[in-house]
Amino acid sequence: MVRFINCFEVPVGRDEEFMELWGEVNAYMQGKPGYVGHRLHRALSDDARYRYVNYVEWAGVEHWRAAHDDGFRERVGRPGWEHFTTTPALFEIVHAAGTISDVGEVGDQSQSTAFEVAPSGASRA
């Protein structure tokens, strides 16, 4: 298993636009062989460089590579993406401790392709 982590620079006030574009790509990738699951994280502070971080687990590097096909490239080439800088990389776990919960604070959206964005700076605790 590999972990794909992509950090996004999303200007304050562009959350809804980002979520719409990201949601299209995410829905597409969920249907690809080897996709295990994902978590999209949003920074608690609007002044964070990377306001959104996407964490995705893939069955293997070969699945991740195959998923980044023409359909993927078409979606990330759509107008609007030029406003959001990304820093992606594949990772392996080199140290782990404790238990990480499967349940997020936004509820179970494991099968959802609709996303709701809380206002920037809103309490997320």
Instruction: Please answer whether residues 125 and 106 qualify as being in contact, where contact means their C-beta atoms are separated by less than 8 angstroms.
Output: no
Instruction: Look over the chain and give the mean of its residue pLDDT values, rounded to a whole number.
Output: 87
State residue 122's pLDDT score. 43
Helical residues (DSSP H) of 70-123, grouped into ranges: 70-76
Distance between CA atoms of residues 28 and 31, nearest Å: 6
Q: Which two structure tokens, joined as six digits, stand for 16?
A: 């809804």
State residue 101's pLDDT score. 78
**Residue 121: is its pLDDT beyond 70?**
no
- List, for residues 55-107, the tens digit of each pLDDT value: 999 999 999 999 999 999 999 999 999 999 999 999 999 999 998 876 666 64
Percentage of residues in the chain with pLDDT exceeding 70? 81
State residue 116's pLDDT score. 46
Determine if the pTM surpasses 0.95: no
Q: Cα dist. 70→27, 66, 80, 85 in Å?
A: 15, 10, 18, 20
**Residue 48: is its pLDDT beyond 90?**
yes
What is the average pLDDT across 20-43? 97
Indicate the CATH number of 2-91 among 3.10.20.30, 3.30.1490.390, 1.10.3720.10, 3.30.70.100.
3.30.70.100
